[in-house]
């Protein structure tokens, strides 16, 4: 019976990792795919390698937090309860992916483990409090950093990144970056026909994707393997390899569909905005993971999107009008019309926009839509937490 339960637990961990790979590869490399920089196979390979690197370097800190620090008595992690936790996490993520809900993997995992501790009276409230405080502070930091960038530096960054999303006529075009397999070690080659700015943009968008994949590895590997590590089912390195392998499986299979459609909120942004959001979110996630805090990339990225849109929508600046010798206010419509060279079309002053200018503002920041997204993002973890508490409190799950 123990061998069967352990096998189920391993399969549950693989299932969690599989969902992580399927849901995080798109946000990480969707911008690169949409810009025609890399293909789906290269994206999956980069996702797998960078996730593994993050899991091996910083990931163990988060594993220890979930398996040792969150409960005052880790002995409540038995084979049965660990398998139940993994099944709750995997089931909740599956429902979220099936419904298209961008649920937080880390919040779901912490909620399930906290429910186990609460039901058994072993929850370390101080440790949970530190995690919750970090969850509250990090999105606020991301919002304001992205807001400052959007308000003061977005047009310049957009001009520097000379890539645009791939259109329908380029759907079958050869990617800018391809894999060269000659020799012992494969390497990436950038198409020589592209200019210097295009190459810089290509390197930037691929590098940001790798940073996001690394950040995902630092935080998300623990969600798949921490319950098994808590019962000493396998060595930590072996569990990390198991979880990373499951992520790679998801990246090469179910993620291939989402990479092309770019169905994630992050990748529906303009390319420069997607890169800005990815950099800010990844830095915050890695920083939290380094101190053992399981970070919610989805929530941080969403607040960064809101902050960037708010910063752009509230931006006011002036352009020196050499002919008239006076300053002319620039509206949101002008900011939205920035081309890749940093130029903009003349626009009416703030407060004097016509009806045709309103959609540009609405597209940058829609409070009703963003509020709804934040609520939905937290719904799946909340359901998983309540469901896990009921299971552990009233069902004979906790035991040897």
What's the pLDDT tens digit per position in 299-315? 888 788 888 888 888 76
Distance of alpha carbon 176 from alpha carbon 163, whole angstroms? 11
Of residues 102 and 130, which shows the higher confidence score? 130
Identity of the highest mean pLDDT range in 46-55, 164-173, 182-191: 46-55
Is 271 a domain residue? yes
- Cβ-in-10-Å burial (0-12, 13-18, 19+) of 92 comes to buried
What's the pLDDT band for 259 if we cut at 50, 70, 90? Answer: low
Q: Are 40 and 179 in contact (CB under 8 A)?
A: no
Query: So what's the pLDDT on residue 97?
Result: 64
In a domain, 333, yes or no: no
Name the token pair of 227: 């319950």
Say what the pLDDT of residue 278 is.
87
pLDDT at res. 128: 94
For 136, other C-beta atoms within 10 Å of its C-beta total 10
Tell me if 280 sits within 8 A of 212, measured CB to CB: no
Q: Is residue 360 pLDDT above 50, yes or no?
A: no
Q: Is residue 357 part of a domain?
A: no
Question: Residue 343: inside a domain, yes or no?
Answer: no
162 touches 200 (CB < 8 A): yes
Residue 349 in any domain: the answer is: no
Instruction: Examine residue 346 and state whether it is found in any structural domain, yes or no.
Output: no
Calpha distance 240→31 (Å, rounded): 27
pTM, rounded to two decimals:
0.79
Is the pLDDT at 280 greater than 90? The verdict is yes
Distance CA 284, CA 269 (A): 20
Per-residue pLDDT for 369 more than 70?
no
Neighbour tally for 176: CB within 10 Å: 23
Range of the domain at 107: 2-315+365-394
Give a yes or no: residue 244 inside a domain.
Answer: yes
Residue 53's pLDDT band (cuts 50, 70, 90) = very high
Give pLDDT, residue 159. Answer: 77
Helix (H) or strand (E) segment spanning residue 233: none
Q: Is 77 left (phi over 0), alpha (psi -120 to 50) or beta?
A: beta
The answer to the question of residue 334 being in a domain is no
Distance (Å, whole) CA 9 – CA 2: 10
**pLDDT of amino acid 98:** 67
* Overall domain count for the chain: 1
Instruction: List phi, psi (to 5°) of 147.
Output: -65, -40
Mark 56-66 as b/e (b = at least 16 C-beta within 10 Å). bebbbbbbbbb
pLDDT higher than 50, residue 145: yes
Q: How far apart, in whole angstroms, are the C-alpha atoms of residue 170 and residue 193?
A: 16
Residue 347 has pLDDT above 80, yes or no: no
Helix (H, G, I), strand (E, B) or coil at 188: strand
Q: Name the more confident of 251 and 193.
A: 251
Give every CB contact of residue 366 below 8 A, 6+ residues apart in sequence: 309
Model pLDDT, residue 204: 84
Residue 160 CB partners (closer than 8 Å, separation 6+): 197, 200, 201
Look at residue 376 and tell me whether its pLDDT is greater than 80: no
Measured in whole angstroms, the distance separating CA 277 from the mean position of its chain's CA atoms is 10
- State the average pLDDT over residues 7-32: 85
Share of the chain above pLDDT 70, in %: 69
- Crossing angle of helices 271-290/196-230, nearest 10°? 40
Q: Is the per-residue pLDDT at 328 higher than 50?
A: no
Q: What is the pLDDT of residue 262?
A: 43
């Amino acid at each position: 019976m123990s061998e069967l339960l352990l096998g189920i637990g391993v399969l549950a961990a693989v299932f969690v990792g599989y969902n992580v790979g399927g849901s995080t590869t798109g946000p990480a490399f969707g911008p690169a795919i949409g810009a025609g920089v890399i293909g789906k196979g290269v994206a999956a390979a980069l996702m797998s390698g960078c996730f593994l690197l993050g899991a091996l370097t910083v990931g163990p800190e988060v594993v220890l937090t979930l398996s040792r620090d969150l409960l005052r008595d880790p002995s409540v992690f038995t084979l049965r309860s660990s398998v139940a936790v993994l099944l709750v996490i995997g089931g909740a993520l599956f429902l979220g992916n099936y419904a298209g809900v961008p649920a937080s993997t880390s919040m779901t995992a912490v909620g399930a483990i906290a429910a186990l501790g609460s039901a058994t009276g072993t929850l370390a409230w101080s440790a949970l409090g530190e995690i919750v405080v970090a969850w509250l502070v990090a999105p606020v930091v991301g919002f304001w950093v992205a807001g400052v960038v959007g308000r003061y530096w977005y047009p310049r960054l957009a001009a520097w990144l000379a890539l645009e999303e791939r259109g329908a006529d380029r759907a079958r075009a050869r990617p800018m970056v391809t894999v060269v397999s000659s020799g012992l070690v494969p390497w990436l080659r950038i198409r020589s026909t592209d200019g210097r700015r295009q190459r810089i943009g290509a390197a930037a968008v691929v590098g940001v994707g790798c940073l996001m994949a690394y950040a995902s590895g630092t935080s998300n590997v623990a969600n798949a393997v921490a319950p098994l590590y808590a019962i000493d089912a396998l060595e930590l390195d072996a569990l990390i390899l198991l979880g990373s392998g499951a992520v790679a499986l998801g990246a090469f299979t179910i993620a291939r569909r989402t990479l092309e459609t770019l169905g994630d909120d992050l990748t529906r942004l303009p390319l420069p905005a997607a890169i800005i959001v990815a950099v800010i979110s990844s830095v915050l996630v890695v920083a939290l993971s380094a101190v053992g805090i399981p970070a919610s990339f989805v929530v941080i990225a969403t607040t960064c999107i809101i902050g960037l849109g708010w910063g752009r929508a509230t931006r006011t600046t002036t352009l020196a009008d050499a002919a008239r010798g006076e300053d002319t206010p620039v509206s949101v419509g002008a900011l939205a019309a920035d081309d890749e060279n940093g130029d903009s079309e003349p626009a009416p002053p703030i407060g004097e926009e016509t009806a045709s200018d309103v959609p540009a503002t609405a597209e940058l920041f829609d409070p009703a839509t963003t509020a709804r997204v934040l609520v939905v993002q937290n719904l799946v973890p909340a359901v998983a937490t309540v469901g896990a508490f009921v299971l552990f409190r009233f069902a004979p799950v906790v035991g040897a």
